Amino acid sequence: MKIAIPLATALALGLAAPLAAQADALEQQLDELQDFQIIAHRGASGHAPEHTWPSYEKAREMGADYLELDLHMSADGELMVIHDDTLDRTTDGEGKVKEHSLAELKALDAGSWFNKAHPERADEAYEGARMLTLDEVIDRYGSDVRYYIETKSPERYPELQRALVDTLEANGLVASGSVVIQSFSQGSLQQIHQLNADIPLVQLVWYSPAEDGSGLTEWTGVTPDPAEISDADFQAIADYAVGIGPNVVYDSEDVIDAGFVEQAHDNGLLVHAYTINDPEQMQRLLDWGVDGMFTNFPDRLSGLVE
């Protein structure tokens, strides 16, 4: 539970300076979020196997502002960094992440698949790369990096939100302004907001054509079709989040436009678009005024924003 300490008590306890430093760090993070942010999607996952040390190290070298991490849980309750809910695509294992223990998951090869899938970018060093736990990533980087963490499939892991916030708080990463949390699940974000209202949150949305041909639909129903989105829709998100994270294109067709970005801004929301790998698309979105992009190629984006 978070306990608010009155300033007079903090002064008496000699805590005022640390509390002020924490407030400064959070304020600095929020200030810096007003600038453009390069979010390394699963690390520099265009260059190295996603969610492995090489992917994260390359993202840091390439000037990413945030490392993006997707979370699932092992059978024994460890927070695991992996995108899919199954092991088959990115490891030599199979089946659901949540049906394997931490020890079983750590024994898997999470790197060799990349060399087969991307021979032009293959590297022997990727062979045998291990899946990572959130604790391992935090132990290595601490507050030297910023983390953009997605609660994946939170309905499958009702305890994930609490475990995540506890981990971040125990490591001082909320106070140091080191974390943004994103999710497609409004319920997950609202739960996290209740657990710690200081954590900046971003509501992900996914627009695709409605089956009845009536325009676009949002996957989780958080907003209507962007053509019909109202200030009240954005304000409902702004109640708990600092930003919205939309897909930009579906099947080569734009699903949002510059007007969407402007309206989000007018309602106090940042716009972090995903997942943008093409430099022309990056430049178009920069021209629209988006506040950040998720990309597998942080080097391409840093070349445009420098």
Judged by the rule CB under 5 A, the positions of this chain that interact with Ca ion are: 70, 150
Query: Which amino acid is located at 263 in the chain?
Result: Q
Picked from Ca ion, ligand G3P, none, the partner binding residue 245 (CB below 5 to 8 A depending on kind) is: ligand G3P
Least distance (Å) between residue 259 CB and Ca ion: 25
CB atoms within 10 A of CB 80: 22
Partners of 205 in the β-ladder: 246
* Closest to 234 (Cα-Cα) out of 225, 244, 245: 244
Kindly report the backbone phi and psi dihedral angles of residue 63, in degrees, each rounded to the nearest multiple of 5, phi listed first.
85, 20
Picked from ligand G3P, Ca ion, none, the partner binding residue 33 (CB below 5 to 8 A depending on kind) is: none
Partners of 133 in the β-ladder: 80
147-151 and 37-40: which strand pairing? unpaired
CB 243 within 8 A of CB 203: yes
Picked from ligand G3P, Ca ion, none, the partner binding residue 275 (CB below 5 to 8 A depending on kind) is: ligand G3P
Least distance (Å) between residue 274 CB and Ca ion: 7
Least distance (Å) between residue 69 CB and Ca ion: 8
- Our finding on whether 245 is near ligand G3P (CB under 6 A) is yes
Active site residue 72: no
Name the closest residue to Ca ion (Cβ).
150
The DSSP-derived string for 177-243 is T-EEEEES-HHHHHHHHHH-TTS-EEEEE-EEE-TTSSSEEETTSSS--GGG--HHHHHHHHTT-SE
Joined together, the tokens standing for residue 219 give 């996957």
Least distance (Å) between residue 4 CB and ligand G3P: 32
CA distances from 287 to 36, 112, 281 (A): 12, 38, 10
Which of 50, 65, 70, 218 touches ligand G3P (CB under 6 A)?
70
Active site residue 272: no
Letters for 86-125 (x = contact with ligand G3P by CB under 6 A, - = none) are ----------------------------------------
CB 200 within 8 A of CB 29: yes
Q: Which of the following is catalytic: 72, 83, 100, 272?
A: 83
Picked from Ca ion, ligand G3P, none, the partner binding residue 55 (CB below 5 to 8 A depending on kind) is: none
Point out the residues that are catalytic: 41, 83
Q: Which residues bind ligand G3P (CB under 6 A)?
A: 41, 68, 70, 83, 150, 182, 204, 245, 274-275, 294
